Amino acid sequence: MKKILCVVFTALMCLSSVFAAGCAEQTPAATSAESTAADTAAATEPEETQIKDDLPDMRFEGKTFRVIVQEGGKLDFYTEDHETSESVHDAVFTRNNNVKDRFGIDFDIIVDGYDSVNNRIKNSVKAGSDDYDLCFVHMVSGASLAQENKVLPFEKLPYVDLSKPWWDKAIKNGFSIRNNLMMVNGDISPFSFSITSCLYFNKTMFDRLDLQYPYELVKEGKWTFDRLFELTKNVTSDKDGDGNISPDGSADVYGLSSWYLDVPYSFYYAAGGMLVSKDGDDVPFYDPQLERDTGIYSKIYDVILTNKAFFATDMGNYENVTRLFTEGRALFLDSTLNAAGSMREMDDEFGIVPVPKYNEAQTDYKSFVNGASSMVCVPATVKRENREFISVIIEGLASESYRTVTPVLKETYLKRKITRDAESADMIDYVVRNRIFDMGYVNMHDGVGSYVRDLLKNGSKDISKELKTYQKSAKKKIENIVKSFDKSLTDV
């Protein structure tokens, strides 16, 4: 029951904030039973995961493929040259070896802090050097590489087939301009799956309050913010009788525990919010929709502020967010899938569900992808004569991840290790099915991309005033991004 992925709490803190520096994950060795389960899962994976790529039969005679990885995303490309009996690590190790053997190559892997990775790439391109073939960068801070003409459009890589299932189609909304993608994601980055937003709920508290678990609501398409509001209503209370409701109290409880760098985004995007739209030519434009966003924000405001959720707004209070839940003092926790590692010693039983929909008419549950997620890019200065080689290896890694890593990731890392019941394992499919990427969040996080966060921090309801203050600057920012992308396309 408690064989849950062991992620050090400080690593969780790094990953749950968009300012995450990307801390290394620590994982326990899997038991032989878990390893067997992983092998069985991979062997019995549905036939569609066995799809082959269309790459030619090519050998590169020991040529070195150079990779740089942000430290927090080591899961994407481990540096160890041996197996460790940890199933996901070993699946990545197997992927790498299969690609090496198939194409006759070697890997040279550099791991560095996310700021250092960005600086290495910028300095290399500025100097006109050809130092890296593939880069795994921090999603938010790495976005500037595209704006500064430092990365190559994937359409310039002849063997990368973005129509294949191992490439994430939703990435286009956040990173494509004029149908050119400067950064991509998909099965090649298992790290990204683990920092997708979700809600945890305390099953023991649900039982005590005689509440029905929300699993059936999710399956029936009825898991909405109105339902979450009703479930958390009147839960926050002063249980120790000192006249205050505080996370530092000995018994005070909350309907929801949340962090201001996570929940405003996970709730907004789950409810169908989006700050940037695209025209028919795939050119983005700032597109605030006051009526829609007023409705969305009203529901967010009610769940967090009207229902008196714990809403931590400073680093000094951050550690209380997950602690309240693990101590059995919060009915719900807004976080990411990897946060379950911090609950391995939790006495109460818990479950996982997607973040709710705006209403039942909304078609899909939508999941925000944390800003610390890896994105994949290629430096603009790679030699033209090497683009064939680079694209073959990238496509080979992605397709091999689809066949070798993802089945193990879903069945072992996600479904078996971090959940305590079969229902929660099923819920993970709802969490990762429709992940959201918004160019407004990715490129304007410190401005318009944070307006819900700023409104909640100030306890304000005046959306129209907040959006109006951003309108001119946001429009100009998007125009500049388009100009930078256009320059990138003409220079390569």
Supply 274's token pair.
Answer: 């989006």
Q: Is the pLDDT of residue 36 over 90?
A: no
Cα–Cα distance measured from residue 482 to residue 446, given in angstroms and rounded to the nearest whole number: 19
From 224, 300, 332, 271, select the one nearest 459 (Cα to Cα).
300
How far is residue 339's CA from residue 16's CA, in Å, rounded to a whole number? Answer: 8
pLDDT tens across 262-278, in order?
A: 999 999 999 999 988 99
Q: Identify the top-confidence range among 217-226, 340-349, 442-451.
A: 217-226
For range 417-440, the mean pLDDT? 84
What distance in Å separates the CA atoms of residue 444 and residue 148, rounded to the nearest whole number? Answer: 15
Is 380's pLDDT higher than 90? yes
3-class SS of residue 284 = strand
Q: How far apart are CA 209 and CA 298, in angstroms?
A: 26
Tell me what the mean pLDDT of segment 389-402 comes to.
97
Tokens (6 digits) for 159? 């063997």
CA distance 30 to 25: 15
Tokens of 194: 């683990």
What's the farthest any 2 CA atoms get from each other in the chain? 73
- Weakest mean pLDDT among 10-14, 82-86, 374-378: 10-14
Q: Are 341 and 5 in contact (CB under 8 A)?
A: yes
Least confident window among 12-26, 137-151, 208-222: 12-26
Residue 305: predicted pLDDT = 97
Find the mean pLDDT for residues 185-193: 90
| Single-letter amino acid, residue 85 | S
Range in 115-129, 245-259, 364-378, 414-428 with the lowest mean pLDDT: 414-428
Are 366 and 436 a contacting pair, CB within 8 Å? yes
Cα–Cα distance, 276 to 440 (Å, whole number): 6
Residue 53 half-sphere exposure toward CB, CA atoms < 13 A: 24
Instruction: For residue 446, name the pLDDT band (cuts at 50, 70, 90).
Output: low
Question: Among 79-83, 130-134, 212-216, where is mean pLDDT lowest?
Answer: 79-83
**pLDDT grade for 173, boundaries at 50, 70 and 90:** confident
Question: How much of the chain exceeds pLDDT 90, in percent?
Answer: 54
Can you give the pLDDT at residue 49?
Answer: 56
Q: Determine which of 173-177, 232-236, 362-366 has the lowest per-residue pLDDT on average.
A: 173-177
What's the first-to-final CA gap in the chain, in angstroms? 53
Cα separation, 412 vs 4, in Å, equals: 10
Number of CB atoms found within 10 A of residue 383's CB: 9
Pick the CATH number of 22-193+372-414 from 3.40.190.10, 3.10.20.90, 3.40.50.1100, 1.10.340.30: 3.40.190.10
Query: What DSSP letter does each residue of 106-157 carry, written as one string?
Result: EEEEEEE-HHHHHHHHHHHHHTT----SEEEEEHHHHHHHHHTT-B--GGGS
Query: How many other C-beta atoms are found inside a 10 Å radius of the C-beta of residue 143?
Result: 27
Q: Is the pLDDT of residue 427 over 70?
A: yes
Which pLDDT value is given to residue 23? 34
The domain defined by 197-368+444-485 carries CATH number 3.30.300.210:
no
- Is the pLDDT score of 247 beyond 80? yes
Point out which residues pair with 221 in neighbouring strands: none
Can you tell me whether residue 328 is helix, strand or coil?
A: coil
Domain range annotation of the chain? 22-193+372-414, 197-368+444-485
Q: What is the pLDDT of residues 453-484, one digit of tens each?
A: 999 999 998 888 888 888 888 888 888 888 87
Q: Is residue 378 pLDDT above 60, yes or no?
A: yes
Does the fold of domain 197-368+444-485 match that of domain 22-193+372-414?
yes
Mean pLDDT estimate for the chain = 85
Q: Is 4's pLDDT higher than 50?
A: no
The stretch 411-427 carries a mean pLDDT of 79
The structure tokens listed for 491 are: 């220079």
Q: Which residue's entry shows tokens 């496509």?
A: 395
The answer to whether 106 and 100 have CB atoms below 8 angstroms apart is yes
DSSP code per residue over 220-249: TT--BHHHHHHHHTTT-B--S-SS---TTS
**Across-strand partners of 134?**
67
The stretch 17-40 carries a mean pLDDT of 36
Residue 66 CA, chain-centre distance (Å), reads: 25
Q: Give mean pLDDT, residues 401-424.
A: 82
Please give the pLDDT value at position 38: 41
C-alpha to C-alpha distance for 279 and 217, rounded to whole angstroms: 35
Q: Reduce the DSSP state of residue 175 to 3 states and report it.
A: helix
Of residues 46, 47, 206, 183, the one with CA closest to residue 121: 183
Contact predicate 438/268, CB 8 Å: no
Predicted TM-score (pTM) above 0.95: no
